[in-house]
Amino acid sequence: MKVTFALSAIAALAAKVSAACFSERLGYPCCRGTEVVYTDSDGKWGVENGNWCGIGNSGSSASCWSQALGFPCCTSTSTVYYSDNDGDWGVENGNWCGIIKGGGSGGNGGNGGNGGGNATPGEQYTIQGNPFANVEFYINPYYVEEVDNAISQMSDSSLIAKAEKMKTYSNAIWLDNIKNMQSWLEPNLQGALSQQNSGGTPVLTVFVVYDLPGRDCHALASNGELLANDSDMERYKSEYIDVIEGHLKKYKSQPVVLVIEPDSLANMVTNIETTPACADSQTYYMDGHAYLLKKLGVFANVALYLDIGHAFWLGWDDNREKAAKVYSKVIQSGAPAKVRGFVDNVANYTPWEDPTLSRGPDTEWNPCPDEKRYLEAMHKDFTSAGIQSVYFFSDTSRNGKKTDRKHPGEWCNQTGCGIGARPQASPISGMEYLDAFYWVKPIGESDGTSDTSAKRYDGYCGHETAMKPAPEAGQWFQKFFEEGLKNANPPL
């Protein structure tokens, strides 16, 4: 289920030249000290060592500060997705653009809504109750870019209109390896803070913490970078969790939700005895959770949700009983950290409600054949086990339409999938322990490759109901994205 976002936008931003002068982007050096001998629309030019060189950051005719850095001016958006010392950045046509403050060109002018180059965190924000309530949801600019790229490959106007709507909905940002965490975490915290400071309403960002040693021990498509050994465990702590802790400590004035290590604890419930890789990973999964809870579960503005798989993983009575013990133990190991609750159906397709199914041979006697009944049962079992805070949010990014999978355990790029309920706080009346519907796994990003020769090929991605040909996990899968648009329920 691993998500590895296309990094073209963030890589471009990270690599953008904090140019000493405009001419570097044109292939000419900056002048070290000479007089102006020529001026054109790019800027002022001098000559040194028999070669043209640029003087200053931009020409007098440059329309905005970002052009000197190789990026266009924003023409149709003023939404700030990121701020740095150069200014405020927006996204248009799948590319970063510079936002002009006050309609004029700037030098290092962006202020992110707070009067400086970067938005500055304010007073401590404290989550009280449901973290999804009474907030704006942060729009992930990198997914917006992916959707824009997808639209450029479409010709059906009705499908394009549906895709355009996708850019208005929030989804989670996956910190799926150390490098991506370093590139993605702070820029998005900063972007959300800028949005919050300019609008005055708290802006919630959802991140997925997903890099345990021996990750996804029962699957192949989404194995991680860290192995189940002591040295990689130390890397997980010092290079991953500790860095996340530092950023969360800094950005104290905005709400954050963390989805904790999808699939990991569910594997500890069902696969230790049957899968050697899960047995080998057990110590690191348990110790890793204890460490991250103590580090990340102590912030007043951060809510943690542990992943609990889905209805056709832990829904059976014996699995739920084992789960209550495992999750209770894990939460106790992280004391005094607080866990808000649990997240289900991450990157999966099980419908929220399926009245056509009941406990019987068709469901292998599962008493929880949809996510609603699963959460109702888990709420009862977890509460009975003494877990103090039992709240849930459910991933509805791709469960809007019941798929034709032969077995409800099928998980890879399912044919016939559809986008589900839109992100929303407290979506079900009378179900006060359901905090939200939310999109954790963005539709369009592959679950795993169908290439049988690939190192990370998993047999589930070759099953009859898995769409083919499919790229590696996390890479953009255009056909899969369009399938989700067509089958969205409710319609886009």
Residues annotated catalytic, as ranges? 263, 447
Q: What is the C-alpha radius of gyration for the chain, rounded to an integer number of angstroms?
A: 24
Binding residues: 174, 176, 310, 313, 348, 411, 441, 445
Strand locations in 214-336, DSSP E? 256-260, 302-307
Tokens 């990991």 belong to 264
Distance, first Cα to last Cα, the chain: 25
Contacts of 57 by beta carbon, 8 Å cutoff, 6+ apart: 19, 20, 21, 22, 43, 65, 68, 107
Binding residues for substrate: 174, 176, 310, 313, 348, 411, 441, 445
Q: Judge whether 261 and 209 are in contact, CB under 8 Å.
A: yes
DSSP symbols for 131-147: TTTTSEEPP-HHHHHHH
Other beta carbons within 10 Å of 55: 21
Alpha helices, DSSP H only, in 101-250?
141-151, 157-166, 178-199, 230-235, 242-250
Nearest to 347 by CA among 436, 260, 445, 266: 445
Backbone angles phi, psi at 80, to 5 degrees: -90, 120
Report how far residue 120's alpha carbon sits from residue 193's, in angstroms, rounded to the nearest whole number.
8
Tokens 């996390």 belong to 474
Other beta carbons within 10 Å of 98: 25
Pull the structure tokens for residue 470: 């499919």
| Pairs from 45-54 (Cβ < 8 Å, separation ≥ 24) | 52/23, 52/28, 53/21, 53/23, 53/28, 53/29, 54/21, 54/22, 54/23, 54/24, 54/26, 54/28, 54/29, 54/30
